[in-house]
C-alpha cells in the first residue's frame, strides 16, 4: 500500500536524523569549541525531548487531520536540520536538535497510529512492521550515507541530507495519505487514562526495559568489539552493516509472525531470545566470525520486538491507540537513556566484560514483566494469541483505571 511506504519514508528520515549525529560528533566538537563529552548533549537532549514530548504532543494534536499533522511534523524536522546545518554555535545546534526531536515525537507515533487505521485488523502487525521498518532501514542506509556525506563536505552536510529526505517525505505524505483521517482517542483525557491504568503502564514499561537492555552494551559497542573481538575499524563497519540488515529482517519477520500467530506468541519468543543473545556477547573473544554471528542474531532479536509490542498495545486498548502509541514511543527513548547510564556504570565498575551480562540481566526483567502482564491481561492475550482480528473485537476496558 502506497500510504504505508510514505509513512515508512518519514520514519526513515526520523531514524537517520536521530542517529547520524553520532558519526560526526568529533567534528562538531572541534568546530564549535566544546569538549567531546559536552558534544554528547546533542544526543542526550534529543532523547530527553522526545521522551517528554511524544505523549504530550500526541494528546495536543489528537484531533488534527492526520495528513496535515504528518506533513507538519516532517517539515519541522526538515527545517530544524536545515537550521542545524547553518549553525555556527553549539547553542544553536542544541536548539535545532530540540526542534527536530519535537517533530519526530509527533511523526513516529502518528505514523503508526495512522497505519493501523489504514489496513484491516488481520494485517495490522505487518503494517506496523513496514512503517517502523523505515526507522530500521535508516540504520542500514541513512546513517552510513549521512556520515559519509559529513566526511566529504563537513558535518553540516549530514544535516542537509536529513533535511532533504524529510522534505521528500513530507511531499510523499501529501501524495499518498488520504485527507480526513483522525486518530482514535489521542487526547489528554486518553493520555490520563493510559497513565492511570497500571496494567497498561506495565505493558508499556517493557519498551523501556527492552531498549535499556540493548543500550547497555550498544552504547559502547565499538569499544566492546575492539577489546574483546580484536576487530579493526573496517571490520566494525561491516559488522554494523550486517547488524542493520538482520535488524530489518527481524522487523519484517516479526510483523508477519504477529499477523499469523498473534503478537503474544511472537513477543514471548522475542523476550526469551534477547537475554540469551546479549549474554552471548561474552563469547566475542572468539574473534570476528563470532562477532558477526552474535550481532546478526542480536539485530534480529532486538528489532523483532517493535511490531508485536505495538500490535499488542493496540489490541489491549484499541479505543485510545494514539495515546498508547505515544507513550510507547516515549518509553523507548527513556530506555535509551537508562541503558546508556547503566552501561557507563557497568563499564566503570566491571569493564567491557560486564556489558553483555548487564544487558542480559535487564532483558530478563523484560521477560518477567511480560509474564506478569500476560497474567493481568490473560483474556485479551488469549485472543491476541489466536488472532489479531479477534483481538480487535475484545474491548479491554481502559476507561477505568485499575
Mean pLDDT of 159-183: 87
Least confident of 227-236, 256-265, 341-350: 227-236
Is residue 398 assigned to a domain? no
Considering the domain architecture, whether residues 218 and 302 belong to the same structural domain is answered as: yes
Among 183, 205, 221, which residue terminates a domain? 183
Considering the domain architecture, whether residues 335 and 229 belong to the same structural domain is answered as: yes
* Separation between Cα atoms, residue 280 and residue 192, nearest integer Å: 40
Task: Give the pLDDT of residue 363.
Answer: 96
Task: Give the pLDDT of residue 40.
Answer: 67
Contact 34, 67 (CB under 8 A): no
Mean pLDDT of 329-356: 84
Which 3 state secondary structure label does DSSP give 1?
coil
| C-beta neighbour count of 232 within 10 angstroms | 10
* Separation between Cα atoms, residue 392 and residue 257, nearest integer Å: 17
Least confident of 71-75, 160-164, 188-192, 397-401: 397-401
Task: Give the pLDDT of residue 340.
Answer: 76
HSE on the CB side for 25, CA within 13 Å? 17
| C-beta neighbour count of 348 within 10 angstroms | 9
Task: Give the pLDDT of residue 202.
Answer: 92
Domain count, the chain: 2
Is residue 164 assigned to a domain? yes
Considering the domain architecture, whether residues 79 and 203 belong to the same structural domain is answered as: no
Is residue 401 assigned to a domain? no
Considering the domain architecture, whether residues 29 and 177 belong to the same structural domain is answered as: yes
Task: Give the pLDDT of residue 385.
Answer: 56
Among 157, 183, 209, which residue terminates a domain? 183
* Phi/psi of residue 120, nearest 5 degrees: -65, 155
Mean pLDDT of 364-370: 94
Considering the domain architecture, whether residues 154 and 196 belong to the same structural domain is answered as: no
* Phi/psi of residue 177, nearest 5 degrees: -95, 125
* Separation between Cα atoms, residue 114 and residue 137, nearest integer Å: 20
Task: Give the pLDDT of residue 167.
Answer: 95
Task: Give the pLDDT of residue 229.
Answer: 85
- Alpha-carbon separation of residue 82 from 17, 28, 156, 167 (angstroms): 11, 15, 9, 11
More confident residue, 397 or 273: 273
CA 124 to chain centre: 18
C-alpha grid cell, residue 234: 573496517
* Separation between Cα atoms, residue 283 and residue 289, nearest integer Å: 11
Considering the domain architecture, whether residues 169 and 193 belong to the same structural domain is answered as: no
Considering the domain architecture, whether residues 130 and 83 belong to the same structural domain is answered as: yes
Give tens-digit pLDDT for 212-233. Answer: 999 888 877 777 888 888 887 6
Q: Positive or negative, the Cα torsion across 138, 143, 149, 150?
A: positive
Is residue 271 assigned to a domain? yes
- CATH of residue 301's domain is 1.20.1250.20
Considering the domain architecture, whether residues 218 and 86 belong to the same structural domain is answered as: no
Least confident of 176-190, 230-244, 351-365: 176-190
Is residue 336 assigned to a domain? yes
* Phi/psi of residue 104, nearest 5 degrees: -65, -35
Percent of the chain surpassing pLDDT 90: 28
CA 395 to chain centre: 27
Considering the domain architecture, whether residues 326 and 199 belong to the same structural domain is answered as: yes
Considering the domain architecture, whether residues 287 and 306 belong to the same structural domain is answered as: yes
Is residue 295 assigned to a domain? yes
Q: Positive or negative, the Cα torsion across 214, 215, 220, 221?
A: positive
Q: Which residues constitute the domain of residue 238?
A: 186-392
pLDDT band at 392 (very low <50, low <70, confident <90, very high): very low
Among 162, 183, 204, which residue terminates a domain? 183
Contact 352, 225 (CB under 8 A): no
| C-beta neighbour count of 35 within 10 angstroms | 8
For the chain, give the mean pLDDT.
82
Q: Which helix (H) or strand (E) holds 235?
A: helix 233-261
Give tens-digit pLDDT for 82-104. Answer: 999 999 899 999 999 999 999 99
Whole-model pTM: value is: 0.70
Q: Where are the beta strands (DSSP E) in 154-253?
A: none
Is residue 208 assigned to a domain? yes
Considering the domain architecture, whether residues 165 and 41 belong to the same structural domain is answered as: yes
Considering the domain architecture, whether residues 160 and 220 belong to the same structural domain is answered as: no
Amino acid at each position: 500500500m502506497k500510504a504505508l511506504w510514505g509513512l515508512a519514508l518519514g520514519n526513515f528520515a526520523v531514524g537517520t536524523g536521530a542517529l547520524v549525529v553520532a558519526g560526526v560528533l568529533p567534528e562538531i566538537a572541534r568546530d564549535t569549541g566544546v569538549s567531546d563529552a559536552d558534544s554528547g548533549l546533542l544526543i542526550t537532549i534529543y532523547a530527553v525531548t522526545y521522551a517528554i514530548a511524544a505523549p504530550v504532543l500526541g494528546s495536543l494534536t489528537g484531533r488534527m487531520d492526520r495528513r496535515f499533522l504528518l506533513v507538519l511534523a516532517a517539515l519541522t524536522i526538515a527545517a530544524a536540520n536545515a537550521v542545524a546545518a547553518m549553525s555556527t554555535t553549539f547553542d544553536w545546534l542544541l536548539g535545532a536538535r530540540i526542534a527536530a526531536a519535537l517533530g519526530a515525537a509527533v511523526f513516529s507515533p502518528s505514523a503508526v497510529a495512522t497505519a493501523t487505521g489504514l489496513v484491516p485488523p488481520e494485517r495490522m502487525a505487518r503494517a506496523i512492521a513496514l512503517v517502523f521498518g523505515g526507522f530500521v532501514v535508516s540504520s542500514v542506509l541513512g546513517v552510513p550515507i549521512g556520515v559519509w556525506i559529513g566526511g566529504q563536505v563537513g558535518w553540516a552536510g549530514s544535516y542537509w541530507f536529513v533535511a532533504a529526505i524529510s522534505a521528500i517525505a513530507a511531499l510523499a505524505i501529501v501524495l499518498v495519505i488520504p485527507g480526513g483521517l483522525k486518530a482514535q482517542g489521542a487526547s489528554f483525557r486518553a493520555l490520563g487514562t493510559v497513565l492511570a491504568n497500571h496494567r497498561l503502564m506495565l505493558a508499556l514499561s517493557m519498551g523501556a526495559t527492552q531498549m535499556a537492555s540493548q543500550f547497555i552494551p550498544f552504547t559502547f559497542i565499538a569499544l566492546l568489539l575492539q577489546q574483546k573481538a580484536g576487530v579493526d575499524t573496517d571490520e566494525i563497519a561491516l559488522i554494523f552493516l550486517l547488524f542493520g540488515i538482520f535488524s530489518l529482517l527481524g522487523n519484517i519477520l516479526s510483523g508477519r509472525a504477529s499477523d499469523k500467530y498473534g503478537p503474544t506468541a511472537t513477543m514471548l519468543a522475542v523476550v526469551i531470545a534477547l537475554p540469551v543473545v546479549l549474554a552471548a556477547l561474552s563469547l566475542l573473544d572468539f574473534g570476528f566470525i563470532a562477532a558477526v554471528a552474535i550481532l546478526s542474531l542480536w539485530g534480529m532479536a532486538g528489532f523483532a520486538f517493535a511490531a508485536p509490542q505495538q500490535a499488542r498495545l493496540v489490541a489491549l486498548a484499541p479505543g485510545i491507540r494514539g495515546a498508547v502509541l505515544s507513550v510507547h514511543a516515549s518509553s523507548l527513548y527513556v530506555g535509551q537513556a537508562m541503558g546508556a547510564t547503566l552501561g557507563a556504570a557497568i563499564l566503570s565498575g566491571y569493564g567491557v566484560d560486564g556489558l553483555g551480562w548487564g544487558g542480559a540481566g535487564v532483558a530478563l526483567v523484560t521477560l518477567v514483566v511480560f509474564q506478569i502482564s500476560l497474567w493481568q491481561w490473560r483474556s485479551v492475550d488469549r485472543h491476541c494469541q489466536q488472532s489479531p482480528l479477534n483481538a480487535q473485537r475484545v474491548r479491554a476496558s481502559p476507561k477505568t483505571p485499575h
